[in-house]
């Protein structure tokens, strides 16, 4: 988890954006800061936000697991989720008393769209007694049908925590295959995938190695197996950021959504980032203007049916109890 500490937006963005861009966004950031103070609100930002959001207005930043923990722990009255809809829903599930806002209702996720609660009920009929592990990139209704949730940073630990020989793992087939490669537990897969990570290929990465001898390749586990086979490190978005800050490689390619490199590059100036640019169209729905409007007009409030939230909370909290 990381937090913004300096209040002056010009200082926060120094070295992150060119001066001309800072001059354009600074008034908007000041407006957002004032609204946050008036409303006792926090902005939780996923690592894929653009640098103006990530460095400019985020109070707390992190991967899906960190965002869920932060949402559970915050004392603010209002949480603005600078991320996608399932992250906002998860925040509401773990902290029902708070008002959770998402700046754009179109900020979805291809994985969340790939499975419904009815699909899980059918799978349970087909595999009676086999526990269902559900990636947090899903709707609240899907979480409510699950035994436990997981994120990319704890998926293998969560699967093994159940102590069964077999699990149903939903909905990301590639994360599921990655988990299967890391454990003896038999993993039954679903055919969901992330439209950003499925586009990378092993061949593309071999090309980076050929043209940049010594380059380090670090990848998100939503990538296909031939991509992960080329990686020097596989981890969640925060896992990847921590790896770069720890290892300080001379040259690196982060095989994930491309704002990540933009966000980290200013913090690791000695590292050269090779940047394939696969953007998540859902994450990119979130803008500074959208965050300002969200706080100003109190939109769009994310609500979860209390009965669904209660069941989903069991699966999410069970995950949060799994030791790091
Ligand atoms: P992380 O939990 O690793 O941040 O991943 C979330 C996500 O949506 C990746 O595409
Ligand atoms: Fe979903 Fe992929 Fe976008 Fe993450 S990057 S929010 S998994 S579509």
User: Does the CB atom of residue 236 touch ligand 1 within 6 A?
Assistant: yes
Give the residue, out of 46, 281, 320, with the most ligand 1 atoms within 8 A of its beta carbon, to mutate for a pocket test.
46
**Cα 281 to middle of ligand 2, angstroms:** 8
Distance CA 21, CA 202 (A): 36
Question: Tens of pLDDT along 296-320?
Answer: 999 999 999 999 999 999 999 999 9
Which residue CA neighbors atom 8 of ligand 2 most closely? 109
Q: What is the pLDDT of residue 1?
A: 45
Which residues fall within 8 angstroms of residue 132, CB to CB, at 6 or more apart?
A: 120, 123, 124, 145, 146, 147, 148, 167, 168, 170
Handedness of CA 37, 283, 148, 100 (dihedral sign): positive
Distance CA 128, CA 166 (A): 11
Q: What is the pLDDT of residue 121?
A: 98
Q: Determine the Cα angle at 46 with ends 39 and 86, to 5°.
A: 85
Ligand 1 atom with minimal separation from the 48 CA: 4
**Cα 27 to middle of ligand 1, angstroms:** 30
Tell me which residue of 18, 49, 13 sits closest to 260, measured CA to CA: 49
Q: What is the pLDDT of residue 155?
A: 98
Residue 106: CB atoms within 10 Å = 11
Is-contact 245 260, C-beta < 8 A? no
Q: CB within 6 Å of ligand 2 — which residues?
A: 84, 109-111, 137, 194-196, 222, 257, 280, 282-283
Which residue CA neighbors atom 3 of ligand 2 most closely? 280
Beta bridge partners of 2: 61
Rounded CA Rg of the chain: 19
**Cα 20 to middle of ligand 2, angstroms:** 31
What is the number of the ligand closest to the CA of 108?
A: 2
Q: What is the pLDDT of residue 218?
A: 98
Q: What is the pLDDT of residue 5?
A: 44
**Cα 144 to middle of ligand 2, angstroms:** 21
Q: What is the pLDDT of residue 177?
A: 98
**Cα 27 to middle of ligand 2, angstroms:** 30
Is-contact 164 185, C-beta < 8 A? yes
Q: What is the pLDDT of residue 324?
A: 79
Which residues fall within 8 angstroms of residue 158, CB to CB, at 6 or more apart?
A: 133, 148, 149, 150, 319, 322
Secondary structure class of 88 (helix, strand, coil): helix
Alpha carbon 246 to chain centroid distance? 20
Distance CA 197, CA 224 (A): 7
Please list the ranges in the chain whose pLDDT falls under 50: 1-6
DSSP secondary structure letter of residue 285 = G
Ligand 1 atom with minimal separation from the 46 CA: 4
- Return the exposure string of 272-296: e unless at least 16 CB atoms fall within 10 Å of the residue's CB, then b: ebeeeebebebbebbbbebbbbbbe
Q: What is the pLDDT of residue 7?
A: 64
User: Does the CB atom of residue 263 touch ligand 1 within 6 A?
Assistant: no
**E strands along 190-250, which residues?**
216-219, 233-234
Which residues fall within 8 angstroms of residue 166, CB to CB, at 6 or more apart?
A: 127, 130, 185, 186, 187, 188
Which residue CA neighbors atom 7 of ligand 2 most closely? 194
Give the residue, out of 1, 58, 152, with the most ligand 1 atoms within 8 A of its beta carbon, to mutate for a pocket test.
152
Q: What is the pLDDT of residue 257?
A: 97
Is-contact 313 92, C-beta < 8 A? no
Ligand 2 atom with minimal separation from the 194 CA: 2
Which residue CA neighbors atom 1 of ligand 2 most closely? 109
What is the number of the ligand closest to the CA of 62?
A: 1
Can you give the pTM of this predicted structure? Answer: 0.96
What is the number of the ligand closest to the CA of 198?
A: 2
Q: What is the pLDDT of residue 92?
A: 98
214: alpha, beta or left? (left if phi > 0; alpha if psi -120 to 50): left
Which residues fall within 8 angstroms of residue 53, CB to CB, at 6 or more apart?
A: 43, 45, 82, 286, 287, 288, 291
């Amino acid at each position: 988890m990381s937090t913004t500490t300096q209040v002056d937006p010009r200082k926060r963005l120094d070295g992150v954006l060119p001066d001309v861009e800072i001059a354009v966004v600074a008034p908007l950031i000041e407006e957002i800061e004032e609204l946050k103070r008036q409303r006792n609100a926090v902005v939780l930002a996923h690592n894929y936000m653009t640098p103006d959001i990530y460095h400019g207005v985020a109070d707390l930043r992190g991967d899906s697991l960190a965002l869920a923990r932060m949402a559970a722990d915050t004392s603010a009255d209002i949480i603005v989720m600078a991320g996608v809809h399932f992250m906002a829903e998860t925040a509401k599930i773990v902290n029902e008393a708070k008002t959770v806002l998402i700046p754009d209702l179109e900020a979805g996720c291809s994985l969340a769209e790939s499975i419904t609660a009815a699909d899980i009920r059918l799978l349970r009929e087909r595999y009676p007694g086999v526990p269902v592990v559900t990636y947090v990139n899903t709707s609240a209704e899907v979480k409510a049908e699950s035994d436990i949730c997981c994120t990319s940073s704890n998926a293998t630990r969560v699967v093994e925590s159940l102590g069964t020989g077999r699990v149903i793992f939903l909905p990301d087939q590639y994360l599921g295959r990655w988990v299967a490669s890391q454990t003896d537990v038999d993993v039954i897969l679903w055919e969901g995938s992330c439209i950003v990570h499925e586009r990378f290929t092993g061949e593309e990465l071999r090309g980076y190695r050929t043209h940049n001898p010594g380059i380090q390749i670090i990848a998100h586990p939503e990538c296909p197996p031939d991509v992960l086979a080329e990686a020097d490190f596989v981890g969640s978005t925060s896992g990847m950021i921590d790896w770069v800050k720890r290892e300080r490689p001379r040259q690196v390619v982060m095989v994930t959504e491309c704002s990540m490199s933009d966000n980290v590059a200013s913090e690791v100036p000695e590292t050269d980032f090779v940047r394939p640019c696969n953007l998540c169209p859902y994450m990119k729905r979130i803008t500074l203007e959208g965050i300002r409007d969200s706080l100003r007009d109190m939109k769009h409030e994310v609500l979860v049916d209390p009965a669904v939230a209660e069941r989903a909370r069991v699966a999410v909290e069970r995950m949060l109890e799994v030791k790091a």
